[in-house]
Amino acid sequence: MNSKPSLENIQPSFGSSFSVKKYTEEQSSTLPYWHCHPEYEIVFITNGKGKRQIGGHVSYYEEGDLVFLGPNIPHLGFTQDLYEQHVEVVVQMKEDFLGRDFMKIPEMADVRQLFERSKSGLAFSGYTKWIAGERLESLVMLDPVDKLLTLLKVLDIMAKSKEFQTLNINYLSMEVKPQEHLRMKKVYDFVESNFGRQFSLEEIAAEVNMTEPAFCRFFKKLTHKTFITFLNEFRIAYASRLLAEEHLSISAVSFESGFNNLSYFNKQFKIVTGKTPSAYRKQLRKFILSEINLDLVE
């Protein structure tokens, strides 16, 4: 596996000004594991749970995902950690894919703002995720004109939606030096393998051949957050998935996620998610029950 983000070369679909790819579980995405590209990217995943790792941001999603990313943001393939059958649709486009001046017309004002917001990364939920996702799934079957019109409708839906979360990536992306990308990838790999145990700043700094103060400055420069904040967010994202598993107590989730102090875990969980672990689990149960009831009605 290449240890720095691969620069993905994207070619538009034949007869189209943008690229559309649809993957099933059997076909699986061929995206590089850790990659970036100058194109904007929409990713829709129909169902299941998985992990987002985008620049300095990490979180888990439930019941599928819809994200819109600006250009040159390193990220992992979104289906790497999926736990259920799914379909993934990836749309990639340059900022001027409609022509140099098309985005300047009055009718595109909302979409222009959407493109600007996407540079911090956007994750959509609720009705927006499903209505936009349904249209995205249909793209591969459409002729070129209908494909373009459908994509414009998807962009319009996302631009006018209030059902989104800004991921606040704050990553300098391709503006940083290649060796800095390499160091960040080593940091991510280390955290992925070791987040469940206690380790010191000195240990992670040594992993990338830096002193502890130099590492802290380096990480803050690239992510606009401290390493401890990032590590806590990573552990909380993992804990969010574990809370869906009924057989684990909250104290067990805390321990499995790398926290050795339950009160500290509860505090950090609320900082990151806005809810206590017990409230988060209760909300998740309520959502699952409502989904079951809907299935019974149908």
pLDDT in tens, 42-73: 999 988 777 777 776 777 787 789 999 988 77
Same domain, 56 and 147: yes
The pLDDT score that the predictor gives to residue 84 is: 59
Same domain, 150 and 62: yes
Structural domain includes residue 86: yes
Of 59, 56, 29, 27, which is closest to residue 43 (Cα–Cα)? Answer: 29
Tens digits of residue pLDDT in 200-236: 999 999 999 999 999 999 888 877 789 998 899 889 8
Ranked by mean pLDDT, which of 46-50, 84-88, 90-94 comes out on top? 90-94
Axis-axis angle for helices 262-273, 277-297 (nearest 10): 60
Same domain, 201 and 230: yes
Structure tokens at 164: 């989104």
User: For residue 27, what are the CA distances in angstroms to 88, 141, 158, 169, 294?
Assistant: 10, 17, 28, 30, 30
Structural domain includes residue 296: no
Of 207, 179, 184, which is closest to residue 194 (Cα–Cα)? Answer: 207
Torsion over CA of 6, 184, 83 and 273, rounded to 10 degrees?
-130
Q: Give the domain CATH number at 119.
A: 2.60.120.10
Structure tokens at 160: 């006018």
Q: Say whether 270 sits in a helix, a strand or coil.
A: helix
User: For residue 6, what are the CA distances in angstroms to 26, 73, 105, 177?
Assistant: 24, 11, 35, 14
Same domain, 38 and 143: yes
Same domain, 91 and 183: no
Structure tokens at 273: 């998610």
Same domain, 143 and 24: yes
The pLDDT score that the predictor gives to residue 249 is: 92
- DSSP for 103-144, written as a single string: GGSGGGHHHHHHHHHGGG-EEE-HHHHHHHHHHHHHGGGS-H
Tens digits of residue pLDDT in 272-297: 888 899 988 887 765 444 444 444 44
**In this structure, what DSSP letter does residue 174 have?**
G
CA angle (36, 40, 43) in 5-degree steps: 85
Give the β-pairing of 50-54 and 57-61.
Answer: antiparallel
Measured between alpha carbons, how far is 146 from 64 in angstroms, rounded to an integer?
25
Q: Is the pLDDT of residue 172 over 50?
A: no
Q: Provide the β-strand partners of residue 76.
A: 34
Neighbours of 252 (CB within 10 A): 12
Same domain, 180 and 199: yes
| Average pLDDT score over residue span 187-199 | 90
Band of pLDDT at residue 134, cut at 50, 70 and 90: very high
> How many domains is the chain built from?
2
Same domain, 86 and 12: yes
pTM of the model: 0.64
Structural domain includes residue 36: yes
The residue among 74 and 98 whose pLDDT is bigger is: 98
Task: For CA atoms 265, 270, 272, 277, give the dihedral sign.
Answer: positive
The pLDDT score that the predictor gives to residue 251 is: 94
What is the percent of the chain with per-residue pLDDT over 70, rounded to a whole number?
78
Show Cβ contacts of residue 77 under 8 Å, excluding neighbours closer than 6 positions. Answer: 29, 31, 32, 33, 35
Residue 100 phi, psi dihedral angles, 5° rounding: -60, -35
The pLDDT score that the predictor gives to residue 292 is: 41
Q: Provide the β-strand partners of residue 89.
A: 22, 44
Q: Say whether 15 sits in a helix, a strand or coil.
A: coil
Tens digits of residue pLDDT in 227-261: 998 899 889 888 887 887 767 899 999 999 999 99
Q: Is the pLDDT of residue 198 over 70?
A: yes
Show Cβ contacts of residue 220 under 8 Å, excluding neighbours closer than 6 positions. Answer: 226, 227
The pLDDT score that the predictor gives to residue 95 is: 84
Same domain, 106 and 182: no
Structural domain includes residue 291: no
List, edge to edge, every strand of the sheet that includes 19-24: 19-24, 87-93, 40-45, 65-69, 122-124, 164-166
- 244 lies in which domain range? 176-284
Q: Give the domain CATH number at 206.
A: 1.10.10.60
Same domain, 30 and 79: yes
Structure tokens at 144: 């070129």
